Structures are given as C-alpha cells and as structure tokens.
Amino acid sequence: MSGEMDKPLIGRHLDSDGSLAEAPSGAPKVGILGSGDFARSLATRLVGSGFNVVVGSRNPKRSAGLFPSAAQVTFQVDAVSSPEVIFVAVFREHYSSLCRLSEQLAGKILVDVSNPTEQEHLRHRESNAEYLASLFPTCTVVKAFNVISAWTLQAGPRDGNRQVPICGDQPEAKRAVSEMVHAMGFMPVDMGSLASSREVEAIPLRLLPGWKVPTLLALGLFVCFYAYNFIRDVLQPYVQERKNKFYKLPVSVVNTTLPCVAYVLLSLVYLPGVLAAALQLRRGTKYRRFPDWLDHWLQHRKQIGLLSFFCAALHALYSFCLPLRRSHRYDLVNLAVKQVLANKSHLWVEEEVWRMEIYLSVGVLALGTLSLLAVTSLPSIANSLNWREFSFVQRASAWPKPTSHKQSQDTHLPALASACSPVPVSTSCGHTEYSSWTL
C-alpha cells in the first residue's frame, strides 16, 4: 500500500515506490508491538530517524503493506527477540495477550504509548503503564509518546507540540528513551517515576485546563458590563423618554462593553505581580511560597492577557462595522434634513474632529502594541527569539526593563519591576514554574 504512510520524514535512500530503503547497517534496532495507526506512524518516524525497526503483528502478511519497506514486519515472538527497546502500541485490554512473551521480554525496556479513555481513567486506580509493569515484573516500563498524535509523528514536530513527557523508575531506561526522542526530533521532559504516569496519561484528556478560570472571568465581566450598558443606553432612555433604542443591543452595546472588559482584564494582568512584589518586600525574602490564590492568579496571567487582546481586537472590528449599520445611515439622513431645515450650509466642530482623529490614532497604536505583546507570548513565537530579541520587544512595548526572577536575587526593586509587566517570562515565584506576562 503506497501513500502518505510510506513516505519518509527525513531524506534517505528511497525505493521506486517512494518508501524508505533498507536502514543503514549498524542502526540501533527497535521493536514495535502493534499494527494500528499509531504503530504505523511510529514506525515511519523511527525509520526516517535512522533506526532499524521490527514490527510484531498477529497477522504480518496482512500488515506488511501498511508499513515502510525498510521496517521488518514479522510475528510478535520474533519481533521482541533482538531489540532492547520495544514500543507497546496496543490497547490496555490486550496487554494480557502479551503475557505469552514474558520470557522473551525479560530484561527489556517496554515503552507504553497508550492512552485511556476518560471512563477508563476514572474506573482504574492504576495507570496503563503501571498495569503493564505489573504484568511484566522482569521488564523496565517507561511511559512516553502518549501525548504525541499519529499525525504529528507523520508531519514532524513542527506541526505539533515538541515536548514528550517521560516517566519511569529506572534512570538508564529513561535516558535510552530520551535519546530516541531527541533522535526523532522531539524534546523529552522527565516527569519522574512511573507513579507519575497516571498524571501523564491524563494530559490528553484535558481540554484547555489553564483557560477555564480566565474564560469564566471574562464572561462574567462581559455579562456585568453588558447589563450596565444596557440599562444606561437602552433601558433608561426607554423608561424616561419613551425612546426605543433596543436596536443597539446586537452591535452598539456589545461594542461599548468589549473595551471595558479588555481594560479590566489587562489590569488583572498587572495587579497580581504588584501584590506579589509587595508581599516579597514585606516578608524580606522571595523564597517563601505565595498564598494559593495568588499563585494561581499569577499562573493565569498569560491567558488573561490574551483574552484582553481578544476583546480589544473584537472592539476594533465592531467599531469598523458601526458605519455599516442601517440605523447609522438613517441618523446621517436625519442630520442632513435637520441641517437643511435650519438653513445651515456648513457643519464643522473643530474640537470634535480633532478628538476623533486622536482617538482613532491612539486606538490603532494601542491595539498594535497589544498585538505585539500577545503574539510574542505564544510559545511558537517566543521559542524562536533569543533573549536579546525578547528583551527588545519587552522594552519597546513598555518602560520597565524586564528581568527574570533569578536576576533579582540581590535586590527587591528589579523583582518589583519584573512582577508588574505584561510580557511572558519564565519565573519561579512560590517555587512554581509558569509563564507570566511581565512588563
């Protein structure tokens, strides 16, 4: 079967069908148990990274055409005989079927790449990796690659997250798997012992966990300001003057609400840094842990800042749409009629003209600055900048010089300046690592 699954990810010698030729002699041998989508993508990535891959399948004749020609597809018992590192790419319920290979697997490194469903994660007290280790006590089990999708393995790490969490009880086994991760173009992250595998397996089950509180906060602020603007601009004129202005609800009231939410959210980006710096100055040390509420607030500053930028961008779009409304056209016609009836040939208020010109200019510049800060806070952009470039963006966007938390060990004043700023840096306040918006 020829297609995208057979195409190499790293240029090497190719066969006529576009699949990889034989792996170089002396290449490290790696085994894979399983013939599903992830196993095929994993085999393609490993072969493209210079490994000699042996795939174990219950039906090798049927599965051979799905793998690159450089990968050897054979029976499971033959696939585990020579490799020292074997990827277990089967579901948890099929682990017990591998027990017949216990003798051949003794002393080898098993890399568990499986993920439980949400129901399985809640039902089982032990992780898939821990369950696999209990079935094969003579093997060393390492949890890895469960957060990487089959598509990311096919397309390369540039199209997905480069980080691969790894956990296991044997440092040598984790080191061997980490070297493979590096060779495949990813970045290994040591998560500790195998007991952490339950936490690692829960990562793919989460849906934007760091955004829940900031999003609810933004929605709450939007509802409050929208209700206030509705009462002031729509309900009050209707009650007092019997003027029907309910047509303002979809666009005008929303446009008035968005900048209020953006301003408050942006202030909430600065405020926790000021409180943290003041608390450090009062305590006289930065090595005491922050209160939990402040620690969580600091960790959510990046998300709050991006939501502030989102509201500001929506406000700009809504503002451009205001002249397109039918009600605006009627207002212009009515104004022209009133001008004719009043026998006025020229209507020009210098103060209002200058005020609007300055308002639009400052608004565009402010949105551009906020856009720059928001874009540079994205990991894909921030990782492409060196420290000097990153510092230049921060200095060009705000007046205090950015400093990392480690740079402020000798004085509290740099810590105060860094804690109050809205560009992301890595800090360790309260012994918790997180990306924050710092000026």
Global model pTM greater than 0.75 = no
- Model pLDDT, residue 24: 56
- 435: pLDDT strictly greater than 50: no
The pLDDT of residue 376 is 78
Report the 10 Å Cβ neighbour count for 400: 16
d(CA 234, CA 228): 10
Residue 339 CB contacts under 8 Å (≥ 6 apart), including other chains? 347
Q: What percent of the chain has pLDDT over 90?
A: 57
* Distances 157 to 50, 129, 284, 385 between C-alpha atoms, Å: 16, 24, 44, 18
Question: Can you give the pLDDT at residue 394?
Answer: 62
Summarize pLDDT for 39-93 with one digit per residue, the tens: 999 999 999 999 999 999 999 999 999 999 999 999 999 999 999 999 999 999 9
Mean pLDDT is lowest, of 202-211, 277-286, 368-377, for: 368-377
Q: How far apart are CA 136 and CA 131, in angstroms?
A: 9
Arithmetic mean of pLDDT, 16-22: 45
pLDDT tier for residue 158 given thresholds of 50, 70 and 90: low
- Band of pLDDT at residue 422, cut at 50, 70 and 90: very low
The candidate with the shortest Cα–Cα distance to 157, out of 187, 196, 180, is: 187
pLDDT on residue 349: 83
Q: What pLDDT was estimated at residue 127? A: 95
Band of the pLDDT at 437, cuts 50, 70, 90? Answer: very low
Tally of residues, the chain: 439
State pLDDT tens for residues 169-186. Answer: 999 999 999 999 999 999
Chain center to CA of 30: 31
% of residues, the chain, pLDDT over 70:
82
Closest to 323 in 3D by CA, of 251, 262, 261: 251
**pLDDT band, residue 346 (cuts 50/70/90):** confident
- Given a contact cutoff of 8 angstroms between Cβ atoms, the answer to whether 328 and 322 are in contact is yes
Convert the pLDDT of each residue in 408-418 to its tens digit: 333 333 333 33
Nearest to 154 by CA among 77, 39, 255, 269: 39
What whole-number distance in Å separates Cα of residue 260 and Cα of residue 253?
11
* Whether the predicted pLDDT of 391 surpasses 90: no
Contact partners, residue 281, CB within 8 Å, separation at least 6? 412, 416
Q: What is the mean pLDDT of residues 401-412?
A: 35
What's the rounded mean pLDDT across residues 147-154? 88
Q: What is the mean pLDDT of the chain?
A: 82
pLDDT in tens, 222-249: 999 999 999 999 999 999 999 999 999 9
- Tell me, letter by letter, the H, E, C secondary structure of the chain: CCCHHHCCCCCCCECCCCCECCCCCCCCEEEEECCCHHHHHHHHHHHHCCCEEEEEECCHHHHHHHCCCCCEEEEHHHHCCCCCEEEECCCHHHHHHHHHHHHHHCCCEEEECCCCCHHHHHHCCCCHHHHHHHHCCCCEEEECCCCCCHHHHHHCHHHCCCEEEEEECCHHHHHHHHHHHHHCCCEEEECCCHHHHHHHHHHHHCCCHHHHHHHHHHHHHHHHHHHHHHHHHHHHHHHHHCCCCHHHCCCHHHHHHHHHHHHHHHHHHHHHHHHHHHHHHHHCCCCCCCCHHHHHHHHCHHHHHHHHHHHHHHHHHHHHHHHHCHHHHHHHHHHHHHHHHCCCCCCCCHHHHHHHHHHHHHHHHHHHHHHHHHHHCCHHHHCCCCHHHHHHHHHHHCCCCCCCHHHHCCCHHHHHHHHCCCEEEEECHHHCCEEEEEC
**Per-residue pLDDT at 398:** 52
